[in-house]
Structure 1
């Protein structure tokens, strides 16, 4: 049995929207620009033609990838039946031993983003947090070290940060 890859409903929608945009808007635009550049004559020294061919290949590659990936992913809504426990899709406020505060969101591998705190459910931090509750202290084993994190809060809607 094949392992399913999970993604939040918002993450799945973002990938589907990107696929739709590339297929319906970006690709036709680039094809028109490529045809215009090809009509200018000698293609071997036509920078616009060469650039648009490369751009079209990149779009087609991404469309193929997204077309397959969107079908392979399982969109999961966050569990709200137990809001005091960490499940997939939760935003988790933690504090470490140095009193540094972090907010992580546990998401699928396709939607990770270090800048926003979105971490893969397969990451060491997410694996340590899953199933835990507010006030729990978790020990996270990282490749080069160990960290202790205390769970301060769990949210299932995006926390309002000022």
Structure 2
């Protein structure tokens, strides 16, 4: 049995939109491209045909992948909840006690994580360490560069 994938609402909706676009636009377009390329004669030396077939294989694979992810998705909706502790989907502002800098992260699923966008995985060392802590808690986290100490200065459920 496949496991569920925790996902934020915005990520779930983005995957749904991508799936719709692939099915409604990309799939018909590549089928048309294949038909046109087929009309150009000898398929054994037809680069357009090969490219279109490869694109079709990619599209069909991505459709199956998205359908699988969406079927296993567990959407975490924090609407209306009081942001009193760090949970999946929370946006957390931390104060680094060593550097005296603030950093803000959103705790997301592995699929959504992108450090450049401030999104960290709930399974990352920082994500795991933060979950369950409350506002003003001090959290020590083992990271590759050593031990970091953060104070949780803000929690939002957005």
The separation in 1 between residues aligned to 2:132 and 2:79, in whole angstroms, is 11
Corresponding residue number in structure 1 for 2:120: 119
Q: Tell me the CA shift for residue 91 of structure 1.
A: 0.7
RMSD, aligned α-carbons: 1.8
Q: Distance in 2 between matches of 1:69 and 1:106?
A: 19
Q: Deviations over 1:26-50 (max 9, x none)?
A: 1111111111111111222222111
Q: Which deviations, in whole Å up to 9, do the C-alpha atoms of 1:64-95 show, x marking residues without a partner?
A: 11111110111110264331321111111112
| Counterpart for residue 34 of structure 2 | 34
Partner of 2:148 in structure 1?
Answer: 147
Structure 1 residue matching 2:51: 3-state secondary structure = helix
User: Aligned in 2, Cα 1:50/1:71: closer, same or farther, shift over 3 Å?
Assistant: same
Which residue of structure 1 lines up, in the alignment, with residue 43 of structure 2? 43
Equivalents in 2 of 1:113, 1:46: separation in Å? 39
In the alignment of these two chains, the number of paired residues is 157
Partner residue, 2:105 = 104
Taking structure 1 as the reference length, the TM-score comes to: 0.88
Change (3 A) 1:44 1:101: farther
- TM-score when normalising by structure 2: 0.90
> In structure 1, what is the Cα distance between the partners aligned to 2:69 and 2:104?
28
The runs of at least 4 consecutive aligned structure 1 residues that moved more than 6 Å come to none
CA pair 57-128 structure 1, distance change in 2 beyond 3 A: same
| Corresponding residue SS for 1:109 | coil
Deviates more, 1:79-88 or 1:19-28: 79-88
